[in-house]
Structure 1
């Protein structure tokens, strides 16, 4: 169904990041302002009638509570890993050159296909741009089965091409010549703006036979096999798409962040600082770098952060010992972390029962936080009863809410460290950060915490958090339009 869209992305921007951001008698996380700088990152202690129990629980959770000194250390390690990655030295950060040298300037025109692959649902989009604005959007969603996500890669890409063909038939455009932007939300080694190899699957994908395969070329081959006149113009991930889509709305956007099933960031880096180039770049001043911070610390540089609960979540994941930083933040893992912590407390006699594995999801973390903010716990208790197979008391529900708050606080802290480090690195008068993803959008406290912690970690750098919608779809179409504009200049 076609729709005319006045604003292609929802905008929610708040400006802060200055030294006076924190004021009043208490901070947003309940920590008194007369605390030291280091202590202002800590969540408030658990309050129970049974004070001894509360103290024991907070003691067990101590490894999940990061003070400012620890976060500063994380930031220093992150800075080192950024430099190592850019210089092609050993680093846990890929620091991939995306070959996207420009952001939207309002001249983007044309009709483009966009493919969005990153989760169990795959989307095909038809997008029309006029003077940089989205005026038409048709979307169809296709489910990717377990067999396709875990089977041969060739089968998956043939399925993607079948979906494109089905979509174009529905649109009556099967014989049309079209440019396509392919959002492939997995770590890649890019060779150009339209080619790249998969480095590793993440999330719920683990297809075989993809080593050294150019995913754009494989998709192109599958499309041609069906007689489709579709050219893969751009290959990017959802983080780059979010940056590009955000920049359409606000030219100050130079950082893109995903806080959804997984987590990642990208930013516009000076071209001269980037060592890896496989294309001419004499006229390129800035280029988008995909950090792939989900893997931050996989080389052991963040071992001081890892708790027994994190190890349990990692051990039970599809890709153990891989993308460990993402497992502190991503929506795929926060529910599992909540379950692991409550299970640990139950084994110590501090919680009534061990929740069944898989019974608590990241949506429960948001629910528990929502009720915590509201000062109620009825739905929390109901969810815990279902997860534990027995009724729980009001105080047990308060314990679970506290655990949700602690792990949410840490997630916000760690993303904030990364963003604050980029703000200091870029040293611009004002930076807007485009953020997309279910955790950012649906968690009741994450945004407020991020605004607070980024301001504490980069006090002299003004910033805005801009809530961006669907960078993985609209961003890929905009990037394809940018690529077409650049190509036209070189003719």
Structure 2
């Protein structure tokens, strides 16, 4: 196969995927419209623009030791976080596996297990980070909880547990206040700890990064899924009634969990036939259309669908579909990453990656590898553009590009952003396409880590300071 013979196919693909400034405009406008709508719509069921009740960001000068807890689908991570000032921290973690027995046992047993994990951290693993009166229980320790499950949050430190999922089937937990269940367990274990804050991991990412760079105004997670947080004026939270808003100064800013992953529809998203094909065959069609165009969960499948089209037109693998290539989700985003990273002259590493999953009639040629690499690059670059339009919409919502000439700091977290080759460069290029160099040169995309741990401790600290 001579790649030049099929250049028209690549040109057509680039026309669909590599969006111009003019094509970015309706997406950014659509996102801003969804922010406005979400701020007015009550946060019930599947909701966006969820208030966090966090009304301040750290300065970087805070000190003291606080606890954080991060519970995902499998692991419990409890951290002692010592804030040293000047954006510096010491941290010790106690990590445990949530077993099937714990997930399906009684709620009391589960929260007792968490309390035991915290007690071990304080008294055995990290007593050197605490004051003696905190270790012996004379002084209350504040805990920030990153709870990766739905809750109906009513204040910074209170919220009702909704259906958990991820294999958690504990009876008598759903419908109860999360903080109450923690405090009952702490009392049973004679542990002087109080829940100071409940938080979302994206809000935690923004707060954690603001400790190291107080100019941070957006927290963005780009991994298997996507989400983002930014500060919004309380007066703009139209979903609240006057009683709720009166608890805050109207000019206060509150961090908002956008749940941006559920944004998008065909009125402004330029979805291709490949996007529609992926969506149609997904277990949740018509849900999260924007995320399906760009997140780590979907880039590999989009690449597989594009490549299948190329194979059927004779532009790849001599027109012969490799055994297994027609299996949905068989081409992983991690494979794309490895293929794009393969700089060997022979491209043998890329061949090995493909042959580890698929059976070929004849060994893929160098032209084949160049073609599949180019497809990966085009699909991943659109992913970067979709990240950039989301960031641009939050910059414009806050008017950060026009209020002053300071740096605009974005805390970026997530495996797809951090580890996919050239992703940071591509996001930055797309931002330059939209804003021009004068504004885009002020936008700093900085790696932000430990949202659930450092962010949780910081939010607990901010709550204790109020």
Under TM normalisation by the shorter chain, which class is it?
Answer: 0.7 to 0.9
1:438 Cα deviation from its structure 2 partner: 1.2
Residue ranges of structure 1 left out of the alignment (5+ in a row) = 1-47, 487-491
Corresponding residue of 1:485:
465
Corresponding residue of 1:291:
258
Alignment map for 1:232-251 (pairs within 5 Å): 232-251=195-214
Corresponding residue of 1:449:
426
Whether the 8 Å contact between 1:101 and 1:284 is mirrored in structure 2 is no
Alignment map for 1:91-490 (pairs within 5 Å): 94-118=48-72, 120-131=74-85, 133-144=87-98, 159=110, 162-169=113-120, 171-172=122-123, 176=137, 177-185=140-148, 189-197=152-160, 205=166, 207=168, 214-221=177-184, 223-224=186-187, 226-277=189-240, 278=244, 280-282=247-249, 285-297=252-264, 301-302=267-268, 304-305=270-271, 307-309=273-275, 311-312=277-278, 315-317=281-283, 319-352=284-317, 353=322, 354-355=324-325, 356-371=327-342, 377-390=347-360, 391-428=363-400, 429=404, 430=406, 431-459=408-436, 461=439, 462-486=442-466
Whether the 8 Å contact between 1:342 and 1:351 is mirrored in structure 2 is yes
1:184 Cα deviation from its structure 2 partner: 2.5
- Measured in 2, the distance between the counterparts of 1:448 and 1:112 equals 36
Q: TM-score, normalised by structure 2?
A: 0.80
In structure 2, do the counterparts of structure 1 residues 432 and 481 end up closer, same or farther at CA, with 3 Å as the change threshold? same
Instruction: Answer with 1 or 2: which has the greater Rg.
Output: 2
RMSD: 3.4
Corresponding residue of 2:39:
86
- Measured in 2, the distance between the counterparts of 1:306 and 1:206 equals 35
Corresponding residue of 2:128:
none
Residue ranges of structure 2 left out of the alignment (5+ in a row) = 125-134
- Measured in 2, the distance between the counterparts of 1:331 and 1:197 equals 31
Whether the 8 Å contact between 1:178 and 1:230 is mirrored in structure 2 is yes
Corresponding residue of 2:130:
none
- Measured in 2, the distance between the counterparts of 1:199 and 1:315 equals 28
Whether the 8 Å contact between 1:157 and 1:222 is mirrored in structure 2 is yes
In structure 2, do the counterparts of structure 1 residues 346 and 467 end up closer, same or farther at CA, with 3 Å as the change threshold? same
- Measured in 1, the distance between the counterparts of 2:290 and 2:186 equals 36
Whether the 8 Å contact between 2:55 and 2:253 is mirrored in structure 1 is yes
**What secondary structure is seen at the aligned counterpart in 2 of 1:388?**
coil
